[in-house]
Amino acid sequence: MQAVAETTDPVQALTQSGYKWGFATEIETELAPKGLNPDIIRLISARKGEPGWLLEWRLKAYAAWLTMTEPHWAMLAYPPIDYQDLHYYAAPKRKPGPQSLDQVDPELLRTYEKLGIPLRERAILAGVEPAEGSRQVAVDAVFDSVSVATTFRETLAKSGVIFCPISEAVREHPELVQRYLGSVVPTGDNYFAALNSAVFTDGSFVFVPKGVRCPMELSTYFRINARNTGQFERTLIIAEDGAQVSYLEGCTAPQRDENQLHAAVVELVALNEAQIKYSTVQNWYPGDAEGRGGIYNFVTKRGACRGARSRISWTQVETGSAITWKYPSCILQGEDSVGEFYSVALTNHHQQADTGTKMIHIGPRTRSTIVSKGISAGQSNNTYRGLVRIQPKASGARSHTQCDSLLIGEECGAHTVPYIESRNASAKVEHEATTSKIDEDQLFYCRQRGLSQEDAVGLIVNGFCKDVLKELPMEFAVEAQKLLAVSLEGSVG
Amino acid sequence: MLQITGLAASIDGKDILRGIDLTLPQGEVHAIMGPNGSGKSTLSYVLAGRDGYAVTSGSARLDGADLLAMTPDERAAAGLFLAFQYPVELPGVGNANFLRTALNAQRRARGESELDAVQFLKLARAATKQLSMPDDMLKRNVNVGFSGGEKKRNEVLQMALLRPRLAILDETDSGLDIDALKIVAEGVNALRGPNFSALVITHYQRLLDYIVPDRVHVLVGGRIVRSGGPELAHALEADGYAAIAAEAA
């Protein structure tokens, strides 16, 4: 209950400045030439010191990509993307893959410090004791195309958990990567996934062995810094039988007038009775109030509940990006497996979001829960697009969708596009949807009690999103609440 | 002290208040009584600063400051509290959280230090106890699923915590059974003192048996047609508004 009260202060400080993560870091960057062709892919692969099979895998993806066309079924409007006008590799100049934080460029560390990323190992190295009872979070930080620091690796290694940049996993744990990479999102799955498979540069790799409960939250922080650069990270998380892990990603980018492309792929694999909780606080630069600049975010996230009684839970708070195209999904293969999707998508100014989920029920008695909260303000457009598919063998499957939209102002749009396909008569699929406007009575009530217009909007919106925010780990829930309030700055009155 | 002079206001071009003069000295409780549609609720909304009302002439000052020039939250920080006739539901917003956010916003605006969660909870628990309200009222979402009586009691709880200099109670008695009415009245009476004044808007005399006003004003057709002591409320109950209005005309 402390969260919202604590929120108002920092929010007031933040609203003075708008997007406070918009600074760029002056750092020497190694850039590949613009454009995409097999030579660029060979260059990326060589820079990463990859084995031959992975280069072949990339080239195969590239060949598939060439035969595909960009999808345009989403409710999104944007000028054509020139895929040859981008850099596909950007790395801070210095040897990538530092062994400890001491070897990380201090300018980078200052950047992450400005962003408030808890590279807490820094403090521990400096001999500072962590506060009693404070939860430890291991962080992997990805700056443009490379991972620059992963913390707490040794602590994790003691329990058998592998948490490292995926480029390193390719070298150190090739058998795991080869077994699982592309097993959930195949190279030719869709246009953006194929592109990612061809040129992915870095991202995180997590492996939690049988029966291990990961002793701390894992977190990756993605930062696009370089100009005219695409970020194509690839994340792979594997939880073996009975393993449990909670993972969070955060993302920001400098404020730039041109658009930047982000096309990530995330694959999750949960074996028997494994549980993976994946939370995202996405705050890529959304563009300015007139719709200039901002990130184009085309992301494929998918989890496979392969084992019986496994569970995958996606929680996302999406406040950033000019364009969001993202449908974190669950393939519920194992019997009695559970998929969950909790989403807050907020759009303001000229932002466009087309986001939702896919729940594919394959195994018997599989269950899915979808809670989507869309908030539209300004001239933005916010679409929920969700598919619930019940396959013939999914006897006794259940799915429940709750999809709520909140409109702020007169010029924004909210759309709900549910697809329900049931091929098993014993399955039960429910879908509820509501659309409401932020209520003048609620605003006046809050203001009469002393809240400013913006704090009142923030409070009401946070209340609207509560069912989703409570799914986030505590410290991130607080961050997400602040973010929601800041993102709505100037949207009312 | 509240000083209202020649206050006229309209909504959608329709005149509702047609020149209100009212002085509410510090420490006093005044009642405003009147039939439906006489402008009672409009008066409370105009004083609290709700959008949609156009003040066409006149002024309203609280302790000398121009109320009408302030935003609703500035009026709240200046000490004005409105107990709503229809308290609003805030889904997903916890009552304690809402109250603490409001209290700290007001304290910040007045340059006072903010209360931390522990200090606040101590205050809040004392207030719920005094109003015979269960503690879980603080944990529930603001007014969501509250009965009519609970909503009104929640308004009084907020008033007790925010400690306004001027409270306007807009038909707080409507929909209350006699026990709830007594609790609400006790809440108001507990605040009475030299630094608290209240404007009690009501349709019925019943509430005034428990909150005995210093003065009673009768509002008809957007004007105060008669003022008097507490006995005026009894006369109204006996003779009805029509008789008073006819007499005043």
DSSP string computed for B176-229? --HHHHHHHHHHHHHH-BTTBEEEEEESSSGGGGTS--SEEEEEETTEEEEEE-
Q: Which residues of B touch A441 (CB under 8 A)?
A: 88
Our CA-based measurement puts residue A342 at a distance from the nearest CA of chain B, in whole angstroms, of 15
Average pLDDT, chain B: 92
A439 and B CB contact within 8 Å: yes
Our CA-based measurement puts residue B72 at a distance from the nearest CA of chain A, in whole angstroms, of 5
Which of A13-22, A214-223, B123-132 shows the lowest per-residue confidence on average (mean pLDDT)?
Answer: A13-22
Residue A158, exposed/middle/buried by CB under 10 A (0-12, 13-18, 19+)?
exposed
Distances (CA, A) of B25 to A420, B28, B162: 66, 6, 20
Give the residue ranges of DSSP H helices in A375-473.
440-448, 453-464, 466-469
Which residue type is seen at A16?
Q
- Mean pLDDT of all residues in A171-187: 95
Q: How far is CA A22 from the centre of its chain?
A: 19
- For chain B, domains (ranges, CATH) are 2-248 (3.40.50.300)
Contact assignment for B73 to A452 by CB distance below 8 Å: yes
For residue A476, the model assigns a pLDDT of 75
Smallest CA-to-CA distance from A284 within A269, A304, A263 is with A263
> From CA B173, how far away is CA B32, in angstroms rounded?
13
Residue A93, exposed/middle/buried by CB under 10 A (0-12, 13-18, 19+)?
exposed
Which of A316-325, A355-364, A365-374, B171-180 shows the lowest per-residue confidence on average (mean pLDDT)?
Answer: B171-180
The confidence band for B248, taking pLDDT boundaries of 50, 70 and 90, is: low
Question: Which of B82, B91, B109 faces A464 most closely, judged by CB atoms?
Answer: B91
Strand A217-223 relative to strand A259-262: parallel, antiparallel, unpaired? unpaired
The confidence band for A26, taking pLDDT boundaries of 50, 70 and 90, is: low
Contact assignment for B97 to A467 by CB distance below 8 Å: no
pLDDT digit string, tens, across residues B4-54: 999 999 999 999 999 999 999 999 999 999 988 899 999 999 999 999 999
- Mean pLDDT of all residues in A277-293: 84
Contact assignment for A463 to B93 by CB distance below 8 Å: yes
Q: Could you report the predicted ipTM of this complex, rounded to two decimals?
A: 0.96
Question: Which of B84, B91, B158 faces A463 most closely, judged by CB atoms?
Answer: B91
Q: Which residues of B touch A3 (CB under 8 A)?
A: 97
Whether residue A148 has pLDDT greater than 70: no
- Mean pLDDT of all residues in A53-61: 96
Whether residue A260 has pLDDT greater than 70: yes
Whether residue A392 has pLDDT greater than 90: yes
Smallest CA-to-CA distance from A326 within A305, A347, A311, A349 is with A347
For residue A362, the model assigns a pLDDT of 98
Contact B149, B187 (CB under 8 A): no
pLDDT digit string, tens, across residues A91-119: 766 544 444 556 566 666 666 566 555 45
Our CA-based measurement puts residue B237 at a distance from the nearest CA of chain A, in whole angstroms, of 32
> From CA B170, how far away is CA B202, in angstroms rounded?
7
Which of A25-34, A212-221, A451-460 shows the lowest per-residue confidence on average (mean pLDDT)?
Answer: A25-34
The reported pTM is: 0.82
Strand, helix or coil at A229? strand
Average pLDDT, chain A: 83
DSSP state of A83: G
The confidence band for A29, taking pLDDT boundaries of 50, 70 and 90, is: low
Give the residue ranges of DSSP H helices in A119-228.
121-125, 153-158, 166-172, 174-180, 191-199
Contact assignment for A8 to B104 by CB distance below 8 Å: yes
Whether residue A121 has pLDDT greater than 50: no
> From CA A69, how far away is CA A454, in angstroms rounded?
43
Phi, psi of A195 (to 5 degrees): -60, -45
Smallest CA-to-CA distance from A202 within A148, A250, A166, A251 is with A166
Report the percent of chain B where pLDDT is more than 70.
Answer: 98
pLDDT digit string, tens, across residues B176-224: 888 888 888 988 999 999 999 999 999 888 899 999 999 999 999 999 9
